[in-house]
Amino acid sequence: MCIMNRLKRYLAASVSVFAIMSQICAAEINLVPVPRKCMERSGTFMLTPDTKICLSPRSDGMMTAVSSWNSLMVSSFGKALAVIPEQNSAGSIRCILTDEIENPEGYRLEVTGSSVTIHARNPAGVFYAFQTLRQLLPPEAENIARDKPADSFSIPCLEIEDSPEFPYRGIMLDAARHFIPKEEVKTCIDIMAFHKLNVLHWHLTDDQGWRIEIKKYPKLTTVGGFRDKTIIGHARGPKPYKWNMSRYGGFYTQEDIKEVLDYAEERFVTVIPEIEMPGHSVAALSAYPEYSCSGGPFEVEGRWGIFNDVFCCKEKTFGFLQDILDEVTALFPSEYVHIGGDECPRVRWDNCTHCQARMKEEGLSSSNDLQIYFMNRIEEYLNSKGKRIIGWDEIMDGDISGRAVVMSWRGEKGGIKAAKNGYDAIMTPNEYMYFNRYQYDPSLEPLANGGFVPLEKVYDYHPVPEILNDEEARHIKGVQANLWTEYITSEDQLEYMLFPRTAALSEVAWSCPENRNYDNFLQRLPLILKHYSAMGINYCRWIFSSREDK
């Protein structure tokens, strides 16, 4: 459907929809995600290099809340805005913490001709108010190739009251199949923050690569971080496979990790590491085959899929994994560590003397019970270090503790089961939230995993299933999109798959359902795309098209 058809559909919408949307955002205010309440006023506020930011209180958290805004000001004006203790001075941006704002991430923003005032409960709310201001600036404020500093920017006068629908608003980046340079990870974090998303789930290990430096086990990266070949074409294509025989890989040093975490902290993004176990572990076993059932040898996989060689359940394997987790938890301040738990074949366990002995010792009747034992033991260890686990919905196949969080990817069933049993859940169903799937016509797009998740389908997703009652629904903590990278070959392609679907995700995660309207979203989106262009983001440009338009 072309843009004109979409606009015709919008004009044919009911009068009630117009009445609702006029209370949300005026036509000139193009914010994504759409705020809860937005009233436009006459006039503009002139932002200049002499505008001051007044903080009350002037705390470390408040300084963090304005730091990325001031980085933008350095790019725009050639200098940061002065940050001073709160005072009622004309021409300033006043940031005030108050208990009057109930939501910990909520804010109230008032822009008049003479000043900007932000009220929030916490620094996070101040930060999100600045992200709103950022979107209200003209796109040229984002220009990373500016020839000379700007003189001023105008911001429309308005009043906004806003807060998120969900506390968990995430994107998963798979750095194991395609290594994502740290600067690109930071770019993704910046655009996440631009859209008020707050969790980066960083998939760091898999069969095709181990990406995080573990000082006690250096071969995890020197061996497990590189593969000697990569399949050409789709893994479901005809055999025999064709191979690219170029050595491929890379990894993040612990200093790289700290740099990314510092960048994320300044943008109020929590980074959750994922260390896959017990399956998807061939890269680790290539480096340390003694923690497998057979003893190897193995090579880092160049093909996509599920592989039979997994971590063995012998005692020394648990020591190995605990050593790894000691370094991971020391690096990442997140309350959570994602430990996978998905797609684990048990054929090796069924024929392994160590695993069979473990089952006998623990009184386990099946290899399924052995995986439950494995996950519970790792969870217990992480709990002892003050961490909670997140696992893919396969962890619901057995008994897990009430502290575990379920990530529902095989549709919504895992999340529904979790919520009904009193567990917290994050919804990431593959039919709506897998950004590695095609978004337009496969013949015109880069090779992808398969399936079809266009922009409108992302936007139309509702994370709380109707089958849940109010008490159960409270266990749905949020929503996440996943970008698996089997078929990603460059940073441009990674951005193409993420944007602007990430904009649609942000409205699913942040905006209240009654304020969401896809046609209105499409009217707001073009200005956001201009911001993307000014930032140098390679977004998908088929968004106002359909398969029939090709």
What digits encode the pLDDT tens for the residues 519-529?
999 999 999 99
Predicted TM-score (pTM) of this structure: 0.94
pLDDT value of position 148: 86
Lowest pLDDT segment from 135-139, 229-233, 298-302, 398-402: 398-402
pLDDT value of position 5: 38
pLDDT value of position 6: 34
| Residues 46-75: tens digit of each pLDDT | 999 999 999 999 999 999 999 999 999 999
| Residues 384-436: tens digit of each pLDDT | 999 999 999 999 887 777 789 999 999 999 999 999 999 999 999 999 999 99
Give the Cα separation of 184 and 490 in Å (integer). Answer: 10
Lowest pLDDT segment from 82-91, 99-108, 408-417, 491-500: 82-91
Give the Cα separation of 437 and 498 in Å (integer). Answer: 10
In 3D, which of 123, 135, 117, 131 has the Cα closest to residue 64?
123
| Residues 432-449: tens digit of each pLDDT | 999 999 999 999 999 999
- Residue 134 confidence (pLDDT) above 70: yes
Residue percentage of the chain with pLDDT more than 90? 89
Cα distance from N-terminal residue to C-terminal residue, the chain = 10
Average pLDDT of span 86-113: 93
What mean pLDDT value characterizes the chain?
Answer: 93
Lowest pLDDT segment from 1-5, 143-147, 363-367: 1-5
Active site residue 471: no
Residue percentage of the chain with pLDDT more than 70? 93
Q: How confident is the model at residue 12 (pLDDT cuts 50, 70, 90)?
A: very low
Active site residue 206: yes
Task: Catalytic residue, from 119, 178, 203, 280: name it.
Answer: 280
In the chain the domains, ranked by start, together with CATH numbers, are 37-162 (3.30.379.10), 168-519 (3.20.20.80)
- Residue 229 confidence (pLDDT) above 60: yes
Give the chain's radius of gyration (CA, Å): 24
Lowest pLDDT segment from 190-204, 328-342, 344-358, 535-549: 535-549
In 3D, which of 68, 79, 157, 84 has the Cα closest to residue 115?
157
Task: Catalytic residue, from 159, 326, 327, 343: name it.
Answer: 343
pLDDT value of position 397: 84
User: How far lies 409's CA from each of 92, 343, 481, in Å?
Assistant: 46, 12, 10
pLDDT value of position 1: 34
The contacts of residue 417 (CB under 8 Å, 6+ apart) are 393, 396, 406
- 155: how many CB neighbours lie within 10 A of its CB? 17
Task: Catalytic residue, from 162, 165, 206, 412: name it.
Answer: 206
Q: Is the peptide bond before 500 cis (omega within 30 degrees of 0)?
A: yes
Relative to beta strand 405-408, strand 424-427 is: parallel
Active site residue 475: no
